[in-house]
Amino acid sequence: MSASLSPLARFESAGRGLRGFLAWWGAGLSAWLPAGWRQALAASSDRLLLQAQGDGLQLRRQGGNGVQDIANLPVPPARGEGIDPLAGVLTRHAAELPRWLMLPASSGLRRTLLLPAAARERLREVLAFEIERQTPFAIGDVLYDGRVLGVRDDGQLQAELVVVPRVRADAASAQLGALSGWLAGIDLADADGKPLGINLLPTAQRQQRANPWRIWNIALAAVALLALALGLSQVLDNRHAAAARLQADVAKRSAQARSVSQQRQRLVDAVEGGAYLQAQRNARPSAIEVMDELARRLPDGTYLEKVSIEGGQLTVIGLSNQAAALVGKLEGAKQWRAPALSGALQQDPRTRSDRFTLVAQLNDASADADAQAAGKEAADAAR
């Protein structure tokens, strides 16, 4: 694929779904790394290309720096079942690389096709139906694979079908001798001799090598999950602690609010009680006014033993030589009304005066003020 494709085109070319997104994302991240780092991280994708040349083998290594020639060797003999024929011939690192048979460009047939975007996820299966239409071979007589060349503006895929007759692939594999059973794939060279990046070898015949980083990856994944669990647990504990602090603060502020509310209610009750008492006092004449008016109206020879004001009632107890006339003298006062003797008069033998108990109802001062105001308004209206 051309390196001039836009990021969106690279994403479309990488494929949809999680796998395509991860491939596109990984390629984008690796583009920001230095070349040395990219080469170190891409070492696991290196492979050993085997190509038969006469009676020998040409070994080339494909990695981040392209394809490099390693050595030309004679075809190694078989060393027994399960024993690598290249063991001891190559370095340990090179011997651990997956081995691919490299076929020359003349061994295969390539066809460019336009496919719908939905064919990406099942590209190999879709291309299987195109073999007999695009090539003169039957599907059972060939090894085939395909690759995506690009994505058009209308969403269609530019795919390439690669077909190699099975007899040619078998003949090339036979030239490898004992190495034919150690192949991880079969690739085809392009016109420049570079591999296309496909795998013509059926899945069941591919040599699967253990990933040396698998245990490390599992361990790192476990550590990452454990760290994530611990981090989430710490976050949860922090949230619980914050919630507990918030509840304690709310409870403290609620207690303060209740205390303030109670104090405010007590203050309101005190103010209202004081206002009520003041209203009650203002509604009745004062004791000084009552005593002054009694002093003015009581005749000489009258002595008071007790004067009490309870509620709205005035009670006067004393001795007088004119006790029978006291009711008449006390009538007409603005401070009280309906004066009357309570009980019978009793003569005191020592002073020869009558002991009396006189009661009267105190007038409402505010009512008197209203009556006076009404009378004044009536007088003014009469003028």
CA–CA separation, 62 vs 45, rounded Å?
Answer: 9
Q: Are 142 and 166 in contact (CB under 8 A)?
A: yes
Alpha carbons 247 and 224: distance in angstroms, whole number: 34
Query: Which residues lie closer than 8 Å to 288 by C-beta, 6 or more apart?
Result: none
State the Rg of the chain over Cα: 59
The pairing of strands 183-188 and 99-103 is: parallel
- b/e burial code for range 223-252 (CB count within 10 A of at least 16 → b): eeeeeeeeeeeeeeeeeeeeeeeeeeeeee
Angle at 377 between CA 372 and CA 381, to 5 degrees: 145
As a whole number of angstroms, the distance between CA 344 and CA 342 comes to 7
Tens digit of each residue's pLDDT, the chain (383 residues): 333 444 544 555 555 556 666 667 777 777 777 766 665 555 457 888 888 887 788 888 887 778 888 878 787 776 666 677 776 677 777 777 888 888 998 899 999 999 998 888 889 899 999 999 999 999 999 999 999 998 888 889 999 999 999 999 888 888 888 777 788 899 999 888 889 989 998 888 887 766 666 788 888 899 999 999 999 999 999 999 999 999 999 999 999 999 999 999 999 999 988 887 777 677 677 788 888 888 888 888 888 888 888 878 889 898 888 888 888 888 888 888 888 888 888 888 888 888 888 898 888 765 555 555 655 666 666 65
Of 10, 15, 2, whose CA–CA distance to 28 is shortest?
Answer: 10
Q: What is the pLDDT of residue 248?
A: 93
* Cα dihedral 127→132→138→139 (10° resolution): 10
pLDDT digits (tens, 9 = 90+) for 18-48: 666 666 777 777 777 776 666 555 545 788 8
Distance between CA atoms of 103 and 168, rounded to whole angstroms? 9
Query: According to the model, what pLDDT value does residue 159 have?
Result: 92
Residues 242, 248, 250, 252, Cα dihedral to 10°: -150
H helix intervals, the chain: 7-14, 17-30, 35-41, 92-95, 123-134, 166-174, 214-283, 287-297, 326-330, 365-382
Q: What pLDDT, on the 0 to 100 scale, is given for residue 3?
A: 39
10 Å CB burial of residue 100 (0-12, 13-18, 19+) is buried
Closest CA to 109 of 133, 92, 91, 90: 133
Query: CA-to-CA distance for 242 and 240, rounded, in angstroms?
Result: 5
For 219-230, the pLDDT digits (tens) are: 889 999 999 999
Amino acid 20: pLDDT: 64
Rounded CA-CA distance 187/189 in Å is 7
Give the whole-angstrom CA distance, residue 195 versus residue 105: 9
Degrees to nearest 5, angle at CA 382 with 379 and 383? 95
Nearest to 7 by CA among 35, 44, 32, 41: 32
Other beta carbons less than 10 A from residue 84's beta carbon: 16
Question: DSSP states of 256-292 as a string?
Answer: HHHHHHHHHHHHHHHHHHHHHHHHHHHHS--HHHHHH
- H-helix or E-strand containing 318? strand 313-320
- Look at strands 346-348 and 302-310 and give their pairing: unpaired
Q: How many residues are given for the chain?
A: 383
Where on the phi/psi map is residue 80: left (φ > 0), alpha (ψ -120 to 50), or beta? Answer: left
Q: Tell me the pTM.
A: 0.50
Burial of 73 (0-12, 13-18, 19+ CB in 10 A): middle
Phi then psi for residue 87, to 5 deg, are: -65, 125
